Amino acid sequence: MKPIKVLIVDDSAMMRKTIKRILETDVDIEVVGAARDGEDALHKAAELCPDVVTMDINMPVMDGITCMLHLLEQQPDVRIIMLSSLTQEGALTTFEALELGAFDYIAKPSGTVSANLHIVGKELIAKIKLAVAQKKRRRLAFSKSSQIQNEPARVASGIVGQSTQKVVVIGVSTGGPGTLMEILPFIPQNIDAAIVVVQHMPAIFTASFAKRLDEHCKISFKEAQNGDLLLTSQGMLAPGGVHMLVRKSIHRGEYMIRLTTQPEESLFRPSVDVTMQSILDIFGKNTVGVLLTGMGSDGADSMAAIRKAGGITIAEAESTAIVFGMPHEAIRRGGAEIIAPSYNIAKEIVKAVNRL
């Protein structure tokens, strides 16, 4: 098998050397070149035809997003992984890049120049391999998603802001930000359920992502905090670095968010399984479970449990999943009643809430 050809784009000479050193530890990857800015990257990409480009965002001459747009136009099959600084500005720019066609992102552990990039080295290598293994589908899926925007959908007449009796819980990982933006903006404002999203994401990013969802969605969205109430027609994003549970208030009968580091042995924090199981324990058959693109199997067991309890489960189809790991495991374990491409999942969620 031919090695994966990677072009490194970063304005820091130290960062270029560090990334090159990390990638060269894997025999399946060949670093074919390095560029100091976006303009340099376009010239070298035309000459070297890389499979994957690691792209810094903030660079002189031409920034990473501008370069990415030119590159995708010239070489539509190239996969681009953004390297984002752990700042609020870096998070917002990263989400913009994902919506415009980047395959995924890696969060730098500190600042623009970091000699500690080896901390995320395994993740970078894994995502480079995934980028090549998965066929490109972002533009097709996004185009099709726009077709459902004006389709009428019956919604139950829930009272916005009242304590909810139904919950839609969505689990997603690699490729999630772009996929969620194909789904959540099409959820109607008066949907008779609370929407809970668990996205594997660093803690520094989740507040910015929640704000971006709030700006684009018909329902309100926020990053969950301890003591927040689950309310009809409102969305909650699990914060990074902790698990999100739902508990019933004994005195008021309302459903409240609780954040915890337990269980510590979970591979991911937040964990889709932990949140889904917590919601299932309280809402039972009034739970809609949705599992989207992502590596591994987080959420698959809980999807099976939701379906067994009489709830409704929806898994993203392979045709649109950037990484068909989590939804595939849900399907394999019998946890997917409905299998749908991303551009139809908003419609399926509405139908499921109406069925409960």
Active-site positions read: 173, 200, 298
3-state class of 354 per DSSP?
helix
Distance CA(326)–CA(328), nearest Å, equals 5
For residue 331, the one-letter residue type is: I
Sequence-distant (≥ 6) Cβ neighbours of residue 308 within 8 angstroms:
none
How many beta carbons lie within 10 A of that of residue 175, not counting itself? 26
| Residue 323 in tokens | 């990484």
Preceding amide of 263 cis, omega within 30: yes
Q: What angle do CA 186, 187, 190 make, to 5 degrees?
A: 135
E-strand stretches of 146-200: 167-172, 194-199
Distance CA(120)–CA(122), nearest Å, equals 6
